[in-house]
Structure 1
Amino acid sequence: MCRWLAYSGNAVQLETVLFRSRHSLIDQSLHSKLGATTTNGDGFGLGWYQHPHDIPYRYRSIQPAWNDRNLRELARAVSAPMFVAHVRSATHTPVQETNCHPFRHRRWIFAHNGLIQSFPLVRRELLVAIEPGRFSALEGSTDSEVMFYLAMTFGLEREPVPALERMAGFVEAAARRHGIDDPLNMTVCACDGEQMVAVRYSSEGNSRSLFHSTSFKHLHELYPDDPRIAAAGEDAYLIVSEPLVDLPDVWAEVPEATAIIVRGPQVEYRQFVPVTPQ
């Protein structure tokens, strides 16, 4: 399907997690171990913040991530305290730049792995529900971008987790009206430069894989001389579709129906419960 990662902490070079790890995101684009597809070569994207209140920067391409020389140069040149990266395996929609994640609206970026089952059957109903003032910002044709703008419509900028719960509930309710069982499967990440919000949820309770780092302090103890780990700081936090390195106690699986909110050193875990908007 797709693979993604999100980072929050001290500013680090993007290549640290995109290229240098043993099972980096670039390696996952070719050799995914836990994804629905082994290869994720239908484009990629990066979104990053240099300062918390800035509009995020973005780079997207339809090239396979492993075959883009500009990506390697950019990842070596850019350091950022918060970023999201995504490699795509297309499902319902074409391979084109506007369908590559992350999607961006003002200060927010959004990445998704998963799908809305039978999306073409519910697409019109979901599109009509998007706030008219935001509808013109839609660029592509993916279910993921529709989910993003539905979440925006339901208040992502004010209350991220409740907005995502309302988005998920709305998608499930619309799918039921069309006779679609277990319509939603998602691991998503939404960021605004100050906070990082991730969710693992599926209608059938069998979501795509998602993990979070447990403790960079523990990594510092294991590898005291590794400058990459030292640069990240003890409060650094990673959310990944698949672990980047095979080390004990470094990664924990995100439980089903869970939301994670990261604000600097503060990390909150809460149950994720879809709500049908009234």
Structure 2
Amino acid sequence: MCRWAAYRGEPLYLEELVTSPKHSLIEQSHCAVRAKTATNGDGFGIAWYGDRPEPGRYRDILPAWSDCNLKSIARQIRSPLFLAHVRAATGGGTRRDNCHPFVFGRWSFMHNGQIGDFEHLRRPMETMLDNELYSARSGTTDSELLFLLALQFGLDRDPLGAVAEALAFVERLAERLGRPALVRFTAAFSDGRDLYAVRYATDWKAPTLYAGPMGSSGGYCLVSEPLNDDDSAWVEVPDGSAIIVGENGVDVRLFGTADVAMAPASRLFSG
């Protein structure tokens, strides 16, 4: 399983998530403590937003702990919204175009999880994409394909609804083909304005997700595992939940695919 961290709030240097904390993302790349695999050395990537609508991105196949360029970039880039990911491959080769985050237009996306029997579902999933989105697919992972399916199903119009529709499509497809409908999905994605995250699994064993405040002006961080040992600073996001981090703080909603609809559930944090 992979590890990732995402932030929205006042501009911060990327190093405040990626390299500086005791349990930074680089530390998690070789010593994750809340994952099935402690080592996440199959590449890394970061996507950040600045003055332009589209995100900048840097990815490589090196383990995050051994890339001096990543440490240098993280010290210099300051952003109000960014996504960072270290990869432990469950499918797809170790190559740059399989490293997260994936981007399309103003959207960025990263994922921790898997689709069961993906090799049998991949081709019919790809046939759902229009020509533009199909041509945008450069890697071989289920993560990138789920991102493109969400775009196909209206990510621009209804981000959480589109992700739910994409996952529901995969589940129905698996059942139709007589395959187990196994989806484990903990993902973060952004349009450069709001930061979204989903924790969901068909077997209620979704990869972990935590949320906590960061910075002095109401910023929030979403992570696969806490960046420090202060347990009181982090809230575990329940399985079957979606999060929106926006100008007014963090909203948490129920998330599911049974009727492809989300209903407001609670508000974890004040704005």
In the aligned structure 1, how far is the partner of 2:132 from the partner of 2:118?
23
Identity of aligned residues (%): 42
In the aligned structure 1, how far is the partner of 2:25 from the partner of 2:247?
23
Conservation of the 8 A alpha-carbon contact between 1:168 and 1:275: no
Conservation of the 8 A alpha-carbon contact between 2:30 and 2:39: yes
Give the drift of 1:19: 0.8
Give the drift of 1:274: 1.1
Structure 2 gap ranges (5+): 261-271
Give the drift of 1:36: 2.0
Report matched runs for 1:1-278 at 5 Å.
1-51=1-51, 54-213=53-212, 215-216=213-214, 232-274=215-257
Give the drift of 1:276: 6.9
Does the residue aligned with 1:249 lie in a helix, a strand or coil?
Answer: helix
Superposition misfits of 4+ residues, deviation over 4 angstroms: none
Higher relative contact order (CA 8 A, sep 6+): 1
Conservation of the 8 A alpha-carbon contact between 1:8 and 1:264: no
**What is the TM-score when the length of structure 2 is the normalising length?**
0.93
Give the drift of 1:24: 0.6
Does the residue aligned with 2:245 lie in a helix, a strand or coil?
Answer: strand
In the aligned structure 1, how far is the partner of 2:235 from the partner of 2:137?
35
| Amino acid corresponding to residue 248 of structure 1 in structure 2 | D
Give the drift of 1:16: 1.2
Give the drift of 1:264: 2.2
| Amino acid corresponding to residue 105 of structure 2 in structure 1 | R
Does the residue aligned with 1:197 lie in a helix, a strand or coil?
Answer: strand
In the aligned structure 2, how far is the partner of 1:276 from the partner of 1:124?
25
Give the drift of 1:234: 3.0
Does the residue aligned with 1:139 lie in a helix, a strand or coil?
Answer: coil
In the aligned structure 2, how far is the partner of 1:187 from the partner of 1:65?
20
**Cα deviation code 1:156-198 (max 9, x no counterpart):** 1111000011011001111112222241001011101101110
Question: How many residue pairs align between the two structures?
Answer: 260
**Cα deviation code 1:35-62 (max 9, x no counterpart):** 12110000000000013x5210000000
Structure 1 gap ranges (5+): 217-231
| Amino acid corresponding to residue 212 of structure 1 in structure 2 | A
| Amino acid corresponding to residue 270 of structure 1 in structure 2 | R
Give the drift of 1:275: 5.1
In the aligned structure 2, how far is the partner of 1:275 from the partner of 1:72?
43
Counterpart in the other structure of 1:226: none
